[in-house]
Chain A
Amino acid sequence: MSAGDTALRRHPRKLHPLPLRLMHWTNAVAIFIMIGSGWKIYNDEVIFGWLHFPEFLTIGKWAQHGLQWHFLGMWIFAINGFAYLIYGIVTGRLRRMLLPVRWSELIATIKDALSFRLSHDDPTKYNTVQKLLYIGVICAGIMMVISGLTIWKPVQLSELLTLFGSFQNARLVHFLSMSAIVSFLVVHIALALLVPQTLVAMLTGGPAIDDKQPSTSIETRSAS
């Protein structure tokens, strides 16, 4: 047995290691700022005539305050998000937690969910729907940054604008990415409150895991 294995046994890796928890809650603050101030900015020139965000849900007294918050939050969101992706790739967490996604497992998960047999016993392994939701929200976050950069710098980064076709298209993509993140948050927060052990895990680190074991939802099902 190597020294590394001994260290692993004495201090087993937690489900959510400290750097990850810090990034999660930093991101929570950033998302809160970005959505609230973004809604303020949106209200100044709506994309859809029928949609104005209620003022009490927005951040900033006037448009300029919304912009000030947004241009503060963007740094937190982008730097923290970038750190998360680097961390996830370097430690292998992204691959371990979110891959592979298989059709057969997706169908099995949906069947389990419909028959109320979905297991929550093992919070260290994500089922296929969870994997897809997390992959989706990461993509939405990346899209948010790319479309946001385009709206901020449509001339200096005119190459990015070409990607979207027009300035208003970039705004629309920014809006749709926000909608995707908000939809994710509704599910994410509702489930965290329904299964509080997941919320506790994001505060305390959760149970120890053996990161040598690949994660599949087949195992999750057989364990239940």
Chain B
Amino acid sequence: MTLRTPSRSIFRPKRTVSQDVLKENRRLIEQIDRRKVLRGGLSLGALTFLTGCDVSENDQVQTALRAVSSWNDKVQSVMFRPNHLAPTFSESQVVIPPRFNAHYDVEDVKPVGGAGWKLELAGRIENKKPWTVRDIYALPEQELIIRHICVEGWDYIGQWSGPNLRQFLERIGADTTAKYIAFRCADGYTESLDMPTALHPQTILATKYAREPITDPFGFPIRLRTSTKLGFKNAKWIVSMEVTNDFPETYYGKEGFNWFSGI
């Protein structure tokens, strides 16, 4: 049997690519290893199948998921009703003591102590004089008996009191047209709020729980309590507050939790 030389294809271009291109890129071409490509393709496929659940931490997947999370921040700020009050409850429904949660155990809480503590103020605030515990505790109080909802899914009714944040911001001459308020905590935790939430009538700097000064695990001497955010947004052991237009990164935000986390 003889092999017939194939006739020149009609699809073959009359002018071909210069052979110099092959010589110029010789090294690159030699690097193309068919097995490597196959192996790479296979392991990519295997990755999506076998460890399909773990791709969440892959950089590109994270970028995409966090972009959606930022979009959800915007949606939530549109959904936010500045004067809509959260349901409140009767004193008999209050859970004492409140439920503890942090990114560490309750035994590892380092008490802040009242004597040396000061609340530092920074950013777009006229009067940045630091506040002592005595000053803060002397301010008029507002009481909230509201539902605390944790991102994990549990909830309880708590009774919090302390100065209203909006009134406090007005008192210190804060620029309430700014976008954010950032909180720094004694344990290094960081949190931030959008201004509409900070100005909500049910947002306070809590100093008491069930009429008693709050205890160490729950944020002595002051912590934030708002009826419109998940638990972790309510910073404890606050040591500084900054009013700013630059988006303040937060501890859990960096971990991948949704920043707005409104309820």
Could you tell me which A residues sit within 8 Å of B by CB distance?
36, 41-42, 44-45, 55-56, 58-65, 67-69, 71-72, 75, 152-156, 158, 161, 167-168, 171
Q: Are A68 and B68 in contact (CB under 8 A)?
A: yes
Q: Are B53 and A60 in contact (CB under 8 A)?
A: yes
Q: Are B256 and A155 in contact (CB under 8 A)?
A: no
Known: A59-B56, A65-B65. 15 other contacts (CB 8 A): A44-B153, A55-B53, A60-B56, A62-B255, A63-B151, A65-B256, A67-B258, A68-B65, A72-B68, A154-B147, A156-B79, A156-B262, A158-B87, A167-B147, A171-B153
Is B186 an interface residue, CB under 8 A from the partner? no
Q: Are A58 and B153 in contact (CB under 8 A)?
A: no
For B142-160 the 0/1 string (1 means CB < 8 A from A) is 0000010111111100000
23 contacts between A and B (CB under 8 A): A41-B153, A42-B153, A44-B152, A44-B153, A45-B150, A45-B154, A55-B53, A58-B53, A61-B54, A62-B256, A63-B152, A65-B256, A67-B151, A68-B258, A69-B65, A72-B68, A75-B68, A152-B263, A155-B227, A155-B228, A156-B79, A156-B81, A156-B262
Is B80 an interface residue, CB under 8 A from the partner? yes
Distance in Å: Cβ of B107 to nearest Cβ of chain A:
21
- What is the total number of residues of chain B having a CB less than 8 Å from a CB of chain A? 33
**With A and B bound together, what is the CA distance between A39 and B23 in angstroms?**
56
Is B247 an interface residue, CB under 8 A from the partner? no
Given A71-B69, A72-B65, A45-B152 contact (CB < 8 Å): yes
- The residue in chain A whose Cβ has the minimal distance to the Cβ of B68 is A72
Q: Are A167 and B149 in contact (CB under 8 A)?
A: yes
Is B84 an interface residue, CB under 8 A from the partner? yes
Distance in Å: Cβ of B118 to nearest Cβ of chain A:
32
Q: Are A68 and B152 in contact (CB under 8 A)?
A: no
Q: Which residues of B contact A61 (CB under 8 A)?
A: 53-54, 56-57
Is B131 an interface residue, CB under 8 A from the partner? no
